[in-house]
């Protein structure tokens, strides 16, 4: 089933809507304050209190006095305190294996991190860090490595020693090449290289990543789908949008497990017949401006949600230096990625595929 979606570059008018959202939240806050002092709020609190007491097996005789509910009792606090202690102990135990580092004041990883080789998750985000030290190889128990939204220019070959790594996110950095040693991480299941803007190819050694189910290389400069990606036999999700693709490889049907394929914002003029051999494909997203040839089997497939985006960017004449332009491009790509993520989540939750999409025009007064 085919349907079209009109997409406008909303990032240019983002500030206007943020102002309106702020005013709306202020009105909501005033309404909440009004309700808190109303009789209806007191009734709601009593009913919620009674319901919780019942769920915890507390008899009415304990919290009812002369027919009135005594919401001031500390019964639930005692129960909550006991359960909270149990959760806290569990949380503290889990937190020992998770390390998080945020903030632009960080320009390199702290020395204390070198000693924490027991970590299972390492999250370093929104910093000014440009390099990852070679002692990363010491983190043999690492399962999740999230290095998104930094200034990282290169990865050390020692990254290949992370044998237990399952999720690797190095999106929205300044990478130009990927070390072939990453192919040694044979337990990898999720790989996100999006938003680096300058990646043009991936090393063939990544073909050994047979457990990968998710690959995101959007917002880069790939002119074709990398050969190594076509050899990832377990791949279910591939996002290669916002690149420089002009066509699809004839062996695209090697990806027998593929369920989602994102191709929008490329220069593809036709979709080859081989794409119809992807029998498990459930979602296909393309750009509609330059696409002139589509296999009829795609449009007639009732189990496939085929989305044709019609991009309508707002023209601007703002002059930026190279650094500002790069950051602006990354911000826009991230915003569009979040938009598509929310749209697809909404689409997959629908029981039926929409038969048409209505174009809505916005009249803005600034």
The pLDDT > 70 percentage for the chain reads: 68
Tell me what the pLDDT averaged over the chain comes to.
Answer: 80
**Cβ 99 vs Cβ 113: under 8 Å:** yes
What is the pLDDT at residue 219? 95
36/45 Cα distance (integer angstroms): 10
Domain limits of the chain? 38-87, 96-244
168/193 Cα distance (integer angstroms): 9
Which range among 224-228, 247-251, 340-344, 357-361 shows the weakest confidence by mean pLDDT? 357-361
Which range among 21-30, 37-46, 151-160 shows the weakest confidence by mean pLDDT? 37-46
pLDDT level of residue 26 (50, 70, 90 thresholds)? confident
179/163 Cα distance (integer angstroms): 15
**Cβ 336 vs Cβ 32: under 8 Å:** no
Helices (H), 60-126: 60-63, 75-95
DSSP three-state, residue 306: strand
The tens digit of pLDDT for each residue in 315-338 reads 444 455 666 677 778 888 887 888
The tens digit of pLDDT for each residue in 144-182 reads 999 999 999 999 999 999 999 999 999 999 999 999 999
Sheet holding 121-125: strands in order across?
2-8, 305-312, 283-287, 260-262, 237-239, 214-216, 190-192, 167-169, 144-146, 121-125, 98-102
What is the pLDDT at residue 287? 84
What is the pLDDT at residue 315? 46
Name the CA dihedral angle for 312, 313, 315, 316, rounded to a multiple of 10 degrees: 170
For range 112-118, the mean pLDDT: 93
**Number of alpha helices (DSSP H) and beta strands (DSSP E) in the chain:** 7, 13
Helices (H), the chain: 14-36, 39-55, 60-63, 75-95, 227-230, 296-300, 322-349
The tens digit of pLDDT for each residue in 287-310 reads 867 787 888 888 778 888 888 776
Question: Which residues touch 299 (CB under 8 Å, ≥6 apart)?
Answer: 1, 2, 306
Q: Give the angle subtended at the CA of 60 by the CAs of 57 and 66, to the nearest 5°.
A: 165
> Is the pLDDT reported for residue 362 higher than 50?
no
**Cβ 95 vs Cβ 118: under 8 Å:** no
> Is the pLDDT reported for residue 85 higher than 50?
no
- Describe the crossing of helices 75-95 and 39-55 by its angle, rounded to 10 degrees: 70
Which range among 34-38, 145-149, 229-233, 262-266 shows the weakest confidence by mean pLDDT? 34-38
DSSP three-state, residue 308: strand
Closest C-alpha among 221, 277, 283 to residue 249:
277
> Is the pLDDT reported for residue 184 higher than 80?
yes
CATH architecture of 96-244: Alpha-Beta Horseshoe (3.80)
> Is the pLDDT reported for residue 79 higher than 60?
no
- Cα-Cα-Cα-Cα dihedral sign, residues 194, 206, 125, 176: negative
The pLDDT > 90 percentage for the chain reads: 50
135/133 Cα distance (integer angstroms): 5
């Amino acid at each position: 089933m085919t349907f079209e979606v009109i997409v406008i570059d909303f990032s240019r008018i983002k500030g206007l809507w943020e102002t309106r959202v702020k005013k709306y939240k202020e009105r909501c806050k005033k309404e909440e304050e009004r309700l808190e002092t109303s009789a209806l709020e007191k009734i709601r609190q009593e009913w919620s209190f009674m319901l919780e007491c019942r769920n915890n097996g507390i008899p009415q005789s304990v919290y009812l006095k002369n027919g009135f509910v005594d919401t001031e009792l500390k019964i639930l606090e005692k129960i909550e305190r006991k359960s909270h202690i149990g959760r806290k102990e569990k949380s503290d135990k889990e937190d020992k294996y998770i390390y998080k580092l945020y903030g632009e004041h960080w320009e390199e990883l702290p020395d204390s991190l070198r000693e924490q080789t027991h970590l299972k998750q390492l999250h370093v985000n929104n910093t000014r860090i440009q390099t990852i030290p070679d002692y990363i190889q010491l983190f043999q128990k690492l399962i999740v490595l999230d290095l998104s939204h930094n200034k990282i220019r290169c990865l050390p070959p020692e990254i290949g020693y992370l044998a237990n790594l399952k999720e690797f996110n190095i999106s929205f950095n300044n990478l130009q090449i990927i070390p072939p040693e990453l192919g040694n991480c044979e337990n990898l299941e999720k790989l996100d290289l999006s938003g680096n803007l300058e990646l043009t190819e991936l090393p063939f050694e990544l073909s050994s990543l047979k457990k990968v189910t998710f690959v995101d290389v959007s917002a880069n400069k790939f002119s074709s789908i990398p050969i190594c990606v076509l050899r990832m036999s377990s791949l279910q999700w591939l996002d290669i949008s916002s690149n420089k693709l002009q066509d699809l490889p004839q062996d695209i049907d090697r990806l027998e497990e593929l369920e989602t394929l994102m191709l929008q914002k490329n220069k593809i003029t036709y979709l080859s017949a081989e794409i119809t051999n992807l029998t498990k494909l459930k979602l296909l997203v393309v750009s509609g401006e330059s696409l002139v040839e589509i296999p009829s089997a795609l449009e007639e497939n009732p189990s496939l949600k085929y989305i044709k985006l019609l991009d309508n960017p707002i023209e601007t004449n703002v002059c930026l230096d190279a650094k500002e332009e790069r950051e602006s491009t990354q911000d826009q790509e991230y915003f569009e990625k979040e938009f598509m993520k929310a749209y697809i989540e909404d689409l997959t939750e629908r029981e039926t595929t929409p038969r048409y999409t209505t174009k809505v025009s916005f009249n803005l007064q600034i």
